[in-house]
Structure formats: C-alpha cells, structure tokens
A = this chain, B = another copy of it.
Amino acid sequence: MRLAELSERSGVSTATIKYYLREGLLPAGRRISATQADYDDAHLRRLRLVRALIQIGRVPVATARQVLAYVDDDSLGQTIRLGAALWELPHEPEPDEEDPQTAVARAEVDRLLELLGWATARELGALSPNHRVLTATLVRLTHLGYPMDAEALLPYAQGLGRLAELDLDRLEDVPTPAEKVEAAVAAAVLFEPVLLCLRRLAQEEESARRFGLS
C-alpha cells in the first residue's frame, strides 16, 4: 500500500504521516522506486499505536520515539524490554525534593508496599517512575488538604492488585514477545482511560444509589 492508502485507511493525513516518518515514529516503507514506497499492515498497526500514544496518552513525540525504540528492540530480554518501554511512558512532574512533605510521602508509599507484601516493588523503590509519581501525587494531595496514608490506600491497592492479575492473564494470551510488548503499551495507554471511565460510571451509579438522582 502506498502513502495515500495508508493515510486513508488510518484516517491520518499524509502530511502527518510524513511528519511521523521524519520523527522516526514510523519505519520507512519498502522503497519501490525513487518516488514510491510500499507500506504494509505492520505500518498501519504501528501508525495506530502512535496515534494512541500521542492523542490519548498525550505522550510527547520524543517520549513516544523512546517507547517505540524499546518495543522494537528485540536484543533485550522480554521482561526488561517490557519494563523499559512502560517506564518511559510517565511524563508527570518528578517529586520536589525541596519539599519536606516528599520524604513523608515516600515513607508512606514504602509503608504501603510493606503492608501489601509487595517485595519486588519495595526493592525497586524509587527506581520505578511509578513509585516517584505516586509519591509526588500524594504530596500534592496533602497540599490540597486531602492527605492519604498507607492505610487509606491499602484497599485500593489490594483491589488493583487483583485487577493486575487479570491484566497479566490477558497478556499471556498474546503469542510473540514483540506483540506482548506492544500489547502492554497499548493496554497502558488505551486501557487506563477505560478503567477511569468505568470508575466514574461506578461512582455515578453508587452516588445515585445512595442519594437518588435529585
């Protein structure tokens, strides 16, 4: 398929596709002649992933490039490759080490992991961007007047832990390592909005159940 068809099938303008090619988010097509290149379903698939990352995940183009580099790097071991790709995704502000609340929040996060018995997460500690983003967000919540301690977070973490098992089950159904990494990235970017929508719908339902629709 040529660029125009790739554009039509994906709903992305040719100009934008050219931009992604230039930025290295999309591999070049197979050159047929000096003025034509051939794209296949892999390109279409990658293009949709790129759109998901940028439009839904709001990942900056530079970050998306790094994520995709890990997705494509089959020299790495499966776990490292997947972890590296996912760890590139968060682009929220890092914790403010000047703020004394940061140390408090970090200790609380560590305490939560202990309560949960999540040994690996405890070992990794602030190496994981998720640990750091969690810390930074708890600091913000505190400043807004809604402090949350480990005990308050515990039931949420346990609930999400059960859901994470489901996630991994689904990932095991994906055959090849390359597809696994891609599926994990897609899940991180597109499945998170699904979860948030479900939670908000659940809140609406529960709220109506308690207080009615008045």
Chain A residues close to B by CB (< 8 Å): 45, 48-49, 52, 55-56, 58, 77-80, 82-83, 86, 92-93, 113, 116, 118-121, 124, 128, 130-131, 133-134, 137-138, 140-141, 143-146, 148, 152-153, 155-157, 159-168, 170, 183, 186-188, 190-214
With both chains docked as a complex, state the minimum distance between the C-beta of A47 and any C-beta of chain B, in angstroms: 10
Find chain B residues with CB under 8 A from A183 CB. Answer: 146
Structural contact, B144 and A202, CB atoms closer than 8 A: no
Structural contact, A130 and B186, CB atoms closer than 8 A: no
Most buried by B among A49, A93, A131, A197: A197
Bound form: Cα–Cα A196–B187 in Å: 12
Contact of A203 among B45, B168, B194, B202 (CB under 8 A): B168
With both chains docked as a complex, state the minimum distance between the C-beta of A81 and any C-beta of chain B, in angstroms: 11
Structural contact, A121 and B193, CB atoms closer than 8 A: no
Most buried by B among A93, A138, A187, A199: A199
Complex A-B: 7 CB contacts under 8 Å: A79-B214, A120-B205, A120-B209, A124-B204, A146-B183, A163-B202, A195-B199
Structural contact, A201 and B118, CB atoms closer than 8 A: yes
Given A56-B137, A164-B205, 10 more pairs with CB closer than 8 A: A58-B58, A79-B212, A86-B200, A119-B205, A120-B213, A131-B201, A141-B194, A156-B194, A159-B160, A167-B203
The residue of chain B having its C-beta at the shortest distance from the C-beta of A131 within the complex is B201
Most buried by B among A153, A160, A193, A202: A202
Knowing A120-B213, A190-B141, say if A164 contacts B199 (CB, 8 Å): yes
Structural contact, B202 and A157, CB atoms closer than 8 A: yes
Bound form: Cα–Cα A200–B165 in Å: 11
Find chain B residues with CB under 8 A from A197 CB. Answer: 130-131, 133-134, 137
Structural contact, B198 and A134, CB atoms closer than 8 A: yes
